[in-house]
Structure 1
C-alpha cells in the first residue's frame, strides 16, 4: 500500500486484511451460505425470513442501525429490510444495497460431491451457493463498515442499507417500494456490490447495467406435419420461415439488422471510459470469436457500450428423432440486451412490422419479459471521486465500465431515486454464479474489503483529496 494519506487509514487496511487472513470472514460467510434462500422456490420463504432475522438484522444492529422489515407491495416477491444510521443531517448519506436471495442450489450437480449450502475451500476458491452472488459481496461491505466504525467510533456519514429478497427473480416490487419509501431511501450516492469485476485481478467500478427484452417468435402454421416428399415445395416450412425471419433481424455474424434495435451511437464519454479495457482476461474465459458482432467496435465497446440480439433457444419437431415430414410449428426465444438510451417501448410492433415488410407476416411476435437499462454518466463527479480515491489508495489502475453486460435493478436507484450509482464488485466473470460450483475467490475478497473500507473511509473524511462531490439540494 502507498504511504499515509487522507484517503488511507493504515490501521483500517491492516485490520481488513487480518479479518480475511484470520479465517473470520470465511467463518462468517459459511454461516450465511448455510441458509437456502432460493427465491424461485416457494418453500424458501422460511429460509429467507430466517436469514433476515438471524443474519442481517444483527449485522445492521451492530452498525448502530435502526432496522425495519417491510412487506413487498408485489405478492410475488419477498420482504425488504432497511437499516438506517443517522449521525448528523449535515453529513452525506450513503445508500448501500444487497440481495439476500440466491438462485436454485442445483444440489447433486456440484463437482466432487460439494453441498451448495456448505462453504468449502479449494485453494483460493470458496465454493457455495451465494458465495459470490450476493452474500459474499454484501458481507464484504457490511464488514468494511463495521471495521470503519470500530476504527473511528463513527462512520462520518449517514447510512441506509437496503436488502431485497427477490433479485434473482427480477426484483418484483422493488421499484414500487422505492417509490413508496423515497424519503427513507434518499441519499447522496449509492455504493453497492454485485456482478463481476472486469477480470479477477482488476479492481473495477461499473455504473449501471444493460437492459433486456425476451421475445418469442412463433410460426404456428398447421396442427399436423405432412410428408416432406409428397408436400415439399408446396407447403411453407415453419422452421425455414423462422430461420429466414431471424436472419433478417440478426445476421449469421451477430450483427443486428434493424436500426431501431440499435443505440443511436456510442457516446464519447463511454468510448473514452472503455479505451484500453480488455475483455476475457481471466484464466478459463472463452476466447472471443473473430468476426463476431458489430464491426468497427472494440470488444469492450461491443460488450459494454452496444446492443446485441441473441437467440436463446430454437426448435421445431424432434431434433433427436427426425421424421420425413414438414413440421407444423417452429419457435424461438430471442433476447435483446441493450444499453441506456435505446427505445424499447414499441419493440414488439417494431419487430412485427419489420418481419411483415420482409414477407414474414406469419411470424407471431410477443414480449415475455423485460428489464430496463440505466447508467450513471461516466463524467459524473462521484465517478471521478471514487476512481481517484481507489487508485490513490491501491496504486493500481481501476477499470470504470459504463455498465455491465448483464442485469441489475440499477434503474431503481438512478431513475426513481435520482442517485449516482457506484458498483464496486467483489467477484469475477468466472465465478459460475448461476451454475453449479459457484465460488468466491479469497484474493478478491481480501482486496475487496480493503477497497470498500478505503472508499467508506474517504466518504467520511472531510479532508479527502479529491473531496466528495457537493451535495445537491
Structure 2
C-alpha cells in the first residue's frame, strides 16, 4: 500500500458517509462548557462517544477529572508502536459554546446536522468536533494503508473546557508531563486563511482582558441643574481610553506595543491575503498600525480593542449626569510582549495623565500567552511540503493565529514544536448561530491529513535527527 492509497481511503471515508455519520453522532451530544451543571454531559462525550470511537484504532486511555474540581474532564489516550519511533501529540476539544437554538435560522438546529449545499450546519461542526473527528479519520486511513501500523507513536489529548478558557489544562500538562511526552504537536482548530487555501499556523497571539471602572458618586443628577459642575464618568473614561489607543486604532502606550516584526515573520505574511472570502467584512484600510499590511496587523502586531463600554442607560437615557462608567478592553499580543507588565504600565500611564480615579483590574484570571514556533524550524518546511504534495496547492503559513489558543500549554510546559492545521474557514460562524463546516474543505482536509500522517511515518525520524543536529550546532 502507498501514500496514494492512504489518501484515497481517507476521501472514501467522506464519500461513503463515514465522516458525516461520526460527526452527526458527536453534534447530537450537547457539550456546552460555558453553562453550569454540564460536567456529566462533558464526561459522557468522552466516555460514551470518543473512547469507543478510538478503541478500534488501537488507543488505550483514561479520563482525568479537571484538576480544579469544577470544570470539564480530559482524555489522554495512547497508541504505542515502538520506542524508536517519533511520537506525535494530537489535541482537540469536545466542548462547545452555548447552543443558542432560538437564534438559529428557521430549519436549523444546533444539535442536528443540516446540509445545505456545501454547508454542514450544527454546533461544533467547525469548533471543534468536526476538526478532531476528521483527524481521527485520517489516522484510520493510514492504519488501513499500512496494514495496521502508522509508523509513529500517537498520543491524544481531548479537553472539555476550551470554550471556558481551558481551565485546568496547564495543571494537567504539568502533572501528566510524562504521559504527554512527545516530539511534536499536530492539532487542528480555528480557520484557514480562506476556504480554498490549506493553512499551517505555528502558535497564536496572546489575549489579556482588563477593565476600567469609574464610580464617582451615588445616583445620577439632573444634567440641566448639575451639568458643568459634576465630573461626567463617561467623558472621563472615554478620554482615559483615548490616551491608550487613538481614533484610528493605533496603540499609543509603548508598553502595549510589540517588538518589531521579525524578518522571517514578515516574509511569511507577505504571501497572506486577509478577508478574501465573499462573506468576510470589508477591511478598513485606514485602521490600525500605519505602515503595516492587513496580514501584518492581525498576525504580526498587537491590537487593543474596546470590547464594551457603558455609562448611564444606553437603552433609556435620562437627562442626567451618570454616576458610573465601565469599559472592558482586550490586548491581543504577539511573542515578545511583556504581558505581565500590562497592568502596572497602564496604571502608571493613567496616573501620569490625570486619571488616578479610574480603577483598573484584570477581567480574567487565565491568560492565553503568545506563542510562535520559528518559521525556519524543520517541522514547518516538512508540513508545508506534505500538504502541497497532497493538495496540489501552495499552503499558507501563518507564524501565529490572530486569535488565542492554549498553545502555551504545549510549547512552554511540554516543550513541543507546534503545528496547527485548521480545517474550518473564516466565515464558519463559530461561536454564533448557524455555525457550519464546509463539506468540500472537509474532504480535502481528510486527504491532506492522511498524507501528513503517512509522511510522519516515512520521514518523521529524519526530521527529529535534523532538529537534534541543529540544536547541537
TM bin, normalised by shorter chain, reads: over 0.9
Moved more, 49-58 or 427-436: 49-58
1:302-361: per-residue Cα shift (whole Å, max 9, x none)?
Answer: 000100000011111112322221111111111111111100112112111111111111
Determine which of 376, 390, 393 is the counterpart of 1:393: 390
Q: CA deviation at 1:275?
A: 1.0
Determine which of 24, 27, 35 is the counterpart of 2:21: 27
Equivalent residue number for residue 173 of structure 1 = 168
Equivalent residue number for residue 411 of structure 2 = 414
TM-score w.r.t. length of structure 1: 0.96
In 2, Cα distance between the equivalents of 1:178 and 1:120?
A: 37
| 1:189-200 equivalent positions in 2, closer than 5 A | 189-200=184-195
Q: Is 1:140 aligned to 2:129, yes or no?
A: no
1:390-417: per-residue Cα shift (whole Å, max 9, x none)?
Answer: 1133221110101111111100010001
In 2, Cα distance between the equivalents of 1:174 and 1:402?
A: 23
In 2, Cα distance between the equivalents of 1:267 and 1:303?
A: 15
Moved more, 338-347 or 307-316: 338-347
Equivalent residue number for residue 454 of structure 1 = 451
In 1, Cα distance between the equivalents of 2:319 and 2:34?
A: 40
TM-score w.r.t. length of structure 2: 0.96
Q: Is 1:94 aligned to 2:91, yes or no?
A: no
Determine which of 295, 301, 317 is the counterpart of 2:296: 301
In 2, Cα distance between the equivalents of 1:69 and 1:145?
A: 21
| 1:32-431 equivalent positions in 2, closer than 5 A | 32-152=26-146, 153-369=148-364, 370-431=367-428
**What is the SS of the residue equivalent to 1:250?**
coil
CA contact (8 A) 1:274 1:301 kept: yes
Residues paired across the two proteins, number: 465
In 1, Cα distance between the equivalents of 2:143 and 2:27?
A: 25
CA contact (8 A) 1:45 1:78 kept: yes
CA contact (8 A) 2:214 2:326 kept: yes
Q: Is 1:18 aligned to 2:12, yes or no?
A: yes
In 1, Cα distance between the equivalents of 2:40 and 2:228?
A: 59
Structure 2 gaps of 5+ residues are: none
Show structure 1 runs of 4+ deviating over 3 A: none
In 2, Cα distance between the equivalents of 1:448 and 1:77?
A: 31
In 1, Cα distance between the equivalents of 2:352 and 2:48?
A: 59
Structure 1 gaps of 5+ residues are: 1-5
**What is the SS of the residue equivalent to 1:42?**
coil
In 1, Cα distance between the equivalents of 2:331 and 2:100?
A: 27
RMSD of the alignment, in Å?
A: 1.5
Q: CA deviation at 1:377?
A: 1.2
Q: CA deviation at 1:467?
A: 4.6
CA contact (8 A) 1:36 1:44 kept: no
1:94-134: per-residue Cα shift (whole Å, max 9, x none)?
Answer: 10001111110111211123111111101100001100111
In 2, Cα distance between the equivalents of 1:429 and 1:302?
A: 17
**What is the SS of the residue equivalent to 1:425?**
coil
